[in-house]
Structure 1
Amino acid sequence: MRSGARHDAPSVRWTRRLGVLLCAWVLAAAWGSVVQTQWNLRALVDVGVEIPASDWLRVTAQDLIGFAPVYGVILAVGWLFALPVASALARWWPAGRSALLAAAAGVGMVAAVRTVDAVAPMPVFIDATRHLPGLLAMAAGAVLAGLLYARLTARLTSR
């Protein structure tokens, strides 16, 4: 019985790690959705469109339902490449694991967004990422999510 419990430990750790990764991914996708929505609404206000607070909230909620999943797929593709590389590097630099995973999450997001921009028929797929401030605002959510993942899985990695 005891050996069976030890045998299950890696699968339990893997499941927990996947659960934490999904939570971090949802955080990053929601963050990016809210940033792009606010960015677009602010652009409309800047050209003189009056937008009531209720519309700001409604549009933000609609984008969380409609845009966040699309952005989440883009984000997941970037992370699919970036996070395993960061995890491998963290084996050689365990003290830098959090920084590596946070940076990889941000870089993966930027790379994925720029890749989509390169193949999309419009100049940019996500208008907020057209210029550096908006791109950095969206990347900040990915970086925070990467840091969250690193912190919440630190004990699982050290076992």
Structure 2
Amino acid sequence: MRKTFLAVSTFFILWSCATEKGGNTSPVPAGVNAEQKSDSAGDLSLKISENANAAEISNLLSTFPVFSKKEVNDEVSALKYCLQNYLYAIDASNMKAKDKQLKGMQKSYRKIQKLRKSLNTDENDVLNRYLVRIKTNIAVIENSVNSKKK
């Protein structure tokens, strides 16, 4: 399970950090073309590979520390799994899966909030910083996805 998660995480991080291919000779940035296509087709997808918030979430997932309490680590793993699937669902324009993973993230987030009381002060502060950054980036992504629906 851990090797699979590590492989998926590594793939996603490499995929999200890929640079633009040199074969694009168009003077118009790729994001403008993609935006025009998505607006005309009524597509609600968000380009996760070009989204700074998704990239930050990927970086947070890859650098998430290990804590002294097994219960916290288990719930952090569940949160990371939901976050990865959430980003994949958005990239695939699967809003049903996105909503399911969002609920899973919220459930794990609440459990972590309860469990973090058992951590020492330093670990609690580090975990809080990660959770705040994740929550902020998810809120920005959700706002972007919801604004495209309108």
- The bucket for the TM-score relative to the shorter chain is 0.3 to 0.5
Higher-helix-fraction structure: 1
Could you say which structure has the larger radius of gyration?
Answer: 1
* Larger relative contact order, structure 1 or 2 (CA cutoff 8 Å, min sep 6): 1
Q: TM-score, normalised by structure 2?
A: 0.34
TM-score w.r.t. structure 1 length? 0.33
